[in-house]
Structure 1
Amino acid sequence: MQFTLLDIWHHTGLFARMIIFTLAIMSVASLVVMAERMIVFRKTRSDSRNFAAKMGAILAKGDLTTAANTNLGKDVGHLGRVINSGLTAYRITPGNKDLAVESVARALERQAQREVQSLKRGLGLLATVGSTAPFVGLLGTTMGIVNAFQLMAAAGSGGLATISAGISEALITTAFGLLVAIPAVMAYNFLQGWVDARSVDISESSNEFLDVVARHVGGGSSHTA
C-alpha cells in the first residue's frame, strides 16, 4: 500500500473510515475556531487601543463627568466596554464617595468577567479536540489491529507478513489523530496566553480608572446623572 490519500482511503475499513470522518469534523471545527478567534482578537485589540487613546486624553484632565457623557461609539473593544461600565455606574450613582467607588468597582469587575469569558469563547473546543483527537485515532488503531488478528485467525496462517498490511492501515488513524491534535493544542496555548494577557490589561486599566474615580470623588467634586 502506498501512502497516498486515495490509497489510504481505499484500504481502510468502515470503522476506520468513520474514525477518519470524525477526525475530519474535529479538524474543521478547530480551524474555524482558530480563524474566528484570531479575527475577533485582532479587532478588539485595535478597538481597545483606539478607545484608550481617546478616553485617556479625557480622563487625564480629571473631568469624569465629561468622560461619562462621552459616546465613542460601539466599537470600543473589550477595554472600552469595561471602562464604559464603570463610567455608567459613576454617572447613575448618587454623590456619595464610598457608594460611588464601590459601585464603580463592582461594575468594572462584573464587566471584566464578562469580557474574559467572551474572549475565551471557543477555546474549550480547541482543548477538547487537542486532548481527545489522539484517543479517537487510537481507537481506530486498536480496532484495526483486532480486525487484522481476526483475519489472521480466519486464514489459519500466522507471521508478521500476514498482518503487517492490516496493522499499517490501522496505525493511519493514530497518525490522523495526531495531525488533528497538534495544531489544536498549539492554537489553544497561544490563544489562552493572549486571553490571559488581556485579562491583566483589563485588571490594570480598571484599577487605574478606579483610582481616578476615588481621587475625583475624594477631592470633593460632585457629579450628576
Structure 2
Amino acid sequence: MDSVPDIVDFVLYLLGVLSVVVWAIIIMKSWAWYKSRNETNHFLSEWQQVRTIYELPKLIAKSNSSFARLCNAGMDAMNAVMANSVLRRNERQEVILLSLRQQAYEEHKRMDGGVAVLASIGSTAPFIGLFGTVWGIMNALKTITATGSAGLDVVAGPIGEALIATAIGIATAVPAVLAYNYFMRRQKVHRADMEQVASRFQSLLTQSGMEG
C-alpha cells in the first residue's frame, strides 16, 4: 500500500513538468512572434511601395521576414524558368507558383512549431489531474478500510493530495489552451498575409512581362 501514494506523486511531478513545457513554449513562441511582427511590419510597409519586380531584390536583401523569404523563393524560381527556353508560358507560371507554395508551407511549418504540443497538453492535463484525484481517493478509501476509521485525520491527507492533482491539471491546461488559441489566430492572419504577398508577387511578375 505504500506504493499507492507514489502514483499520485508521479502525477503531480508529471503535471509540473508539463506546466514548465507549456510556459517554455509560450515564452519562446511569443518572442518569435514579436520578432516576426517587427520584421513583417517593416517589410509590408515597404512592400506597398514596390511597383515593379525589379525593385524586389533590394527589399529582400534588407529583410529577414518570412515574406522576404517567400519573395526570394519566387525570384529564384523566376530566374530559373527564364533561363529555360523549353518551358512554355503556362509551365513557367506553374513552376513559379509551386515554388511560392512550397516556401509558404515551410514558413507556416516554421511558425507552427510547438503549437501542437500546447493543444495536446491542454486537452490531456485535466484528465491526468483527474486520474491523480481518483487514485488519491482510492488510497483514502483503502486507508479507511485498513484503519476502520473515517476521521478527518485519516482521510484529509490523501484527499487533499488528490484535489491538488486536479487543481494542477486545470492550472496546466488553461494557459495551454489560451496560448494555443492565441497563436492559432496569429497564424491565421499570417497565412492570409502570405497569400496576399504571393498573389501580388505574381501580379508584379505579370505586369513586368517576366512570364512570357
Q: TM-score, normalised by structure 1?
A: 0.81
Q: Does 1:90 align with 2:78?
A: yes
Aligned to 2:67: 79
Aligned to 1:132: 124
AA at the equivalent of 2:202? L
AA at the equivalent of 2:135? M
Distance 2:75 2:69 in 1: 10
Q: TM-score, normalised by structure 2?
A: 0.86
Aligned to 2:33: 41
Retained in 2: the 8 A contact 1:50–1:76? no
Aligned to 1:205: 197
What is the CA distance between 1:100 and its match in structure 2?
2.8
Which structure 2 segments of 5+ residues have no match?
A: none
What is the CA distance between 1:187 and its match in structure 2?
0.5
**Aligned counterpart for 1:113 among listed residues 94, 105, 119:** 105
Aligned to 1:186: 178
1:157 partner SS: coil
What is the CA distance between 1:70 and its match in structure 2?
3.4
What is the CA distance between 1:162 and its match in structure 2?
5.2
Retained in 2: the 8 A contact 1:144–1:167? yes
Q: Percent identity?
A: 27
Retained in 2: the 8 A contact 1:16–1:173? yes
AA at the equivalent of 1:216? S
What is the CA distance between 1:73 and its match in structure 2?
3.5
Classify 1:65/1:74 alpha carbon distance in 2 versus 1 (closer, same or farther; 3 Å).
closer
Aligned residues: 205
Retained in 1: the 8 A contact 2:93–2:211? no
More deviation in 44-53 or 195-204? Answer: 44-53
Retained in 1: the 8 A contact 2:115–2:180? yes
Q: Does 1:156 align with 2:156?
A: no
RMSD: 2.4
Any runs of at least 4 consecutive aligned residues in structure 1 with deviations exceeding 6 A, and if so which?
A: none
Classify 1:82/1:222 alpha carbon distance in 2 versus 1 (closer, same or farther; 3 Å).
closer
Distance 1:56 1:170 in 2: 58
1:152 partner SS: helix
Distance 1:195 1:66 in 2: 28
What is the CA distance between 1:165 and its match in structure 2?
4.5
2:58 partner SS: coil
What is the CA distance between 1:53 and its match in structure 2?
3.4
What is the CA distance between 1:74 and its match in structure 2?
7.0
